[in-house]
Structure 1
Amino acid sequence: MSYKIIIDSCGEFLDEWKDDERFESVPLTLNVGGETVIDDETFDQAEFLKKVAACPECPKSACPSPERYMKAYECEADHIYAVTLSSELSGSYNSAVIGKDLFLEENPGRNVYVFNSRSASVGETLIGMKIQECEEAGCSFRETVERVEKYIAEQNTFFVLDDLETLRKNGRLSRVKSLVASALKIKPVMGSTDEGTICQLDQARGINKALIKMVQHVAEKTENSETKVLAISHCNCRERAMLLKDALQERLTTKEIIVLDTAGVSSMYANNGGVIVAV
């Protein structure tokens, strides 16, 4: 059976997906100081980070419209899947569901399912990989949905921020706390809850100590790691990501570790120097 996997642009694309018609990235839009940036193949990370640093206001994102998702669903595939960033962080999931309902009104009987990743960034990438794995293994549409939903329920996402300005600008960190944290070089270790919200797991003085603590949290929460693919995304800090990969390989045995650069929405959340791990 043929299939199509649609992932909103918060999820990083593997190189082999970019020219594969079975995969489509549906872009969110980013707004920095009144300027709109489309999170597609034209996204310039370096330029975007400069704009974010220069703007006193917090950058914002807008989810794709239901009509945009409808357009993505319009294909000949037998099985159609969409993966969105956590419904607790964006309206992308609801938009994809509305788009699905509108599509099915005009195309009754088609197989379309929308996954709420309860994650972001490479968490979505891994979900796309899991869907592809199930389809290539010959699973039915229903079997794929059940297996991937189980996978999502067991997945964990972690990240460390080097630059706290976005947290300060969006009100999650007061200016005083931000100044104190910056002066003391305190870096938060963040994670996702079961519902897909963001929580602070730990903190440390200095980025390297924070990364060590994140590795500890990843190791503690990852069961049966030898059966899993682990993904790392980084915002303009590949060397840091590779050091993190080495540290994780010392603590965990995995099927594979992939390293990707953050796309637009993930760059907005992670900010310059941020790293994200999903497994």
Structure 2
Amino acid sequence: MSYKIVIDSCGELLEQWKQDERFESVPLTLTVGSENIIDDETFDQADFLQKVAACPECPKSACPSPESYRKAFDCEADHVYCVTLSSELSGSYNSAVLGASLLHEERKDKQVHVFNSRSASVGQTLIAMKIAQCEDAGLPFEDVISVVNKYIEEQHTFFVLENLETLRKNGRLSRVKALVATALKIKPIMGSTPEGSICQLDQARGMNKALVKMVEKIMEATENSESKVLAISHCNSPKKAQMLKEAIQEKMKLTDIVVLNTAGVSSMYANDGGIIVAV
């Protein structure tokens, strides 16, 4: 049975997926001031970060249209899966569900399932990897859905922010608190709730201490780590990501560690220097 995995552009694609017709990214639109930026293969991270830093307004994102999803789902693959960023953060999930409904009006027997990742970025990447693993093992469509839903329930996402400006601009942090935190070099350690919203887990003075605390949080939350793949995405900070990878390898046994650079939506959330981990 053939399959296709559709991921909204908040999820990073592995390099080998970019040339594989079984994987497709459906782009969100990013807005910085009055400019709209399509989060596709033309996305320029360095240029985007400069525009965000220069703009007094908070950058925003708009989810793909239901028609964009319908087109992505309308293919010859026997099984179609979609992984969207958390429905608590975006309308992408609801748009994808509607896109699947539109396709079913034309092709009633088409097997399409939309997963709410309850995560973002490399959390979505890992879910797509799990789907592919199940399909390659020959699991039936309904069994793939069951296994992947259980995987989503057990997954954890963490991130550390170097730059607090996006939090300030979107009202999650007052200007005074942002200035004080920046002056004292306080870095929040953030995570996802079971429902897929964002919460603060801890904080530390300085990025290195924050990353150490994040590793501790990852270890506390991860059971049977030797059977799991961990993923790291970084926003314009490869050295920091490599340092974190080495620190995790010293503390945990894992099947693999994947390191990727953030795509557009993830870059907007993480901001320059941000680090995201999912496991």
TM-score, reference length from structure 1 = 1.00
Counterpart in 2 of 1:86?
86
Counterpart in 1 of 2:190?
190
Report the RMSD for the aligned CA atoms in angstroms: 0.3
The CA distance in 2 between the partners of 1:62 and 1:185, in whole Å, is: 32
The CA distance in 1 between the partners of 2:262 and 2:30, in whole Å, is: 14
Counterpart in 1 of 2:59?
59
Counterpart in 1 of 2:162?
162
- For 1:217-236, list aligned pairs within 5 A: 217-236=217-236
Alpha-carbon offset, residue 33 of structure 1: 0.8
- For 1:35-50, list aligned pairs within 5 A: 35-50=35-50
Counterpart in 2 of 1:99?
99
Identity, % of aligned pairs? Answer: 72
The CA distance in 2 between the partners of 1:239 and 1:175, in whole Å, is: 29
- For 1:136-151, list aligned pairs within 5 A: 136-151=136-151
Alpha-carbon offset, residue 110 of structure 1: 1.1
The CA distance in 2 between the partners of 1:34 and 1:211, in whole Å, is: 35
Unaligned runs of 5+ in 1: none
* Deviation sequence 1:164-183 (CA, Å, 0-9, x none): 00000000000010011001
TM-score, reference length from structure 2 = 1.00
Unaligned runs of 5+ in 2: none
The CA distance in 2 between the partners of 1:113 and 1:180, in whole Å, is: 46
Alpha-carbon offset, residue 251 of structure 1: 1.1
Count residues in correspondence: 279
Alpha-carbon offset, residue 90 of structure 1: 0.1
The CA distance in 1 between the partners of 2:88 and 2:273, in whole Å, is: 24
* Deviation sequence 1:240-260 (CA, Å, 0-9, x none): 000000011111100000000
* Deviation sequence 1:28-60 (CA, Å, 0-9, x none): 000001100000000000000000000000000
Q: Which amino acid aligns with 1:175?
A: R
The CA distance in 2 between the partners of 1:78 and 1:6, in whole Å, is: 14
Kindly report structure 1 stretches of 4+ aligned residues shifted beyond 6 Å: none
The CA distance in 2 between the partners of 1:97 and 1:277, in whole Å, is: 27
The CA distance in 1 between the partners of 2:198 and 2:123, in whole Å, is: 13
The CA distance in 2 between the partners of 1:22 and 1:179, in whole Å, is: 46
The CA distance in 1 between the partners of 2:194 and 2:251, in whole Å, is: 24
